[in-house]
């Protein structure tokens, strides 16, 4: 499964997701920092990628779109990168299970 990470997330998170066994791209390393949320959503669809973001604007896009696996929403508040990496690492097996079972939106909460 492929993931496209939003600009508000650290690039190291893409590395972590790759280490966990998935293909992960970050908008910064793809040269897309100035792209709008809508453009990123469209690109993710073209790449057959699931968006990973803390931005709640993507929730509305995911609900309208209906793609099988559209969004991993990191609803974790303001936490350090270390805490973010720990939360993602701990919950990633469940995230993948939900996405693979067809849930279009998976939300991580504290």
Buried b / exposed e along 22-35 (16+ C-beta atoms within 10 A): bebbbbeeeebeeb
| Token code pair at residue 81 | 């990168």
| Of 22-26, 59-63, 79-83, minimum mean pLDDT range | 59-63
Question: 53 vs 43, which has greater pLDDT?
Answer: 53
Residue 56: give the domain boundaries.
2-108
Using one digit for the tens of pLDDT, what is the confidence trace for 80-104? 999 999 999 999 999 999 999 988 8
Q: Name the pairing type of β-strands 71-74 and 23-26.
A: unpaired
Spatial contact of 4 and 43, defined as CB atoms under 8 Å apart = yes
The number of distinct structural domains making up the chain is 1
Dihedrals φ, ψ of 65, to 5°?
-75, -50
């Amino acid at each position: 499964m492929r993931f496209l990470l939003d600009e508000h997330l650290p690039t190291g998170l893409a590395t972590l997701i790759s280490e966990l066994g998935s293909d992960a791209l970050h908008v910064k390393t793809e040269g897309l920092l100035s792209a709008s949320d809508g453009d990123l959503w469209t690109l993710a669809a073209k790449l057959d990628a699931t968006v990973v973001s803390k931005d709640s604007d993507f929730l509305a896009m995911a609900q309208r779109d209906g793609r099988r696996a559209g969004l991993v929403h990191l609803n974790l508040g303001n936490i350090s990168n270390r805490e973010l990496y720990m939360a993602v690492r701990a919950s990633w097996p469940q995230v993948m299970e939900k996405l693979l079972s067809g849930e279009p939106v998976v939300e991580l909460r504290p």
